[in-house]
Every structure is written in C-alpha cells, then in structure tokens.
C-alpha cells in the first residue's frame, strides 16, 4: 500500500489475492461471482490477476458477499471483520 500526504493508493496485488482467497474459501466460481456482480467470468479473472479493479458499488457487493470490510479488501487493514 502506498500513501502520499494521507492519500491511499490501492495495492492491486493484495486486492486481487484477497478476492481470490475469499472466493475459493466460499467455493464460489468466477462465473458465479461474475453473475452476482453483473460482470463476466473474464472480468473476475482480470480482477484476481490484478489487471483491473472494480467500481465502489461492486466493491461493496463483494464485501457483503464475503462478510468482510471494504478496508480489508483494499488492504487498509489485515482484520477482515466488518465492524
């Protein structure tokens, strides 16, 4: 994670890793997660490879799906708890 003057910059590798780990832990396929987010399996694959990120709206859906905080997904904390 990089910060400059208090600004947060996404660590794509960590974001990708956490999405994939959580998806596998819940035994959800890329296609199933894609359906939940209204995106393709290829787009989920690209997220998990760190090639792309997602919208804030979809980030919130992912956090709800896996019952983790958005801060955890973004790498701002190592504690996955929501509150």
Question: What is the per-residue pLDDT for 6?
Answer: 52
Rg (CA), the chain: 12
Maximum CA pair distance of the chain?
39
Domains of the chain with bracketed CATH = 11-74 (1.10.260.40)
For residue 26, list its beta bridge partners: none
Distance CA 74, CA 52 (A): 13
Question: What is the per-residue pLDDT for 23?
Answer: 97
pTM of the model: 0.84
The string of pLDDT tens digits covering residues 32-70 is 999 999 999 999 999 999 999 899 999 999 999 999 999
């Amino acid at each position: 994670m990089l910060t400059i003057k208090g600004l947060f910059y996404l660590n794509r590798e960590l974001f990708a890793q956490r999405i994939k780990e959580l998806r596998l832990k819940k035994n959800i396929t890329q296609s199933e997660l894609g359906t939940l987010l209204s995106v393709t399996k290829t787009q989920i694959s690209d997220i998990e490879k760190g090639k792309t990120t997602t919208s804030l709206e979809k980030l919130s859906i992912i956090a709800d799906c896996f019952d983790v905080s958005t801060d955890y997904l973004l790498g701002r904390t190592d504690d996955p708890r929501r509150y």
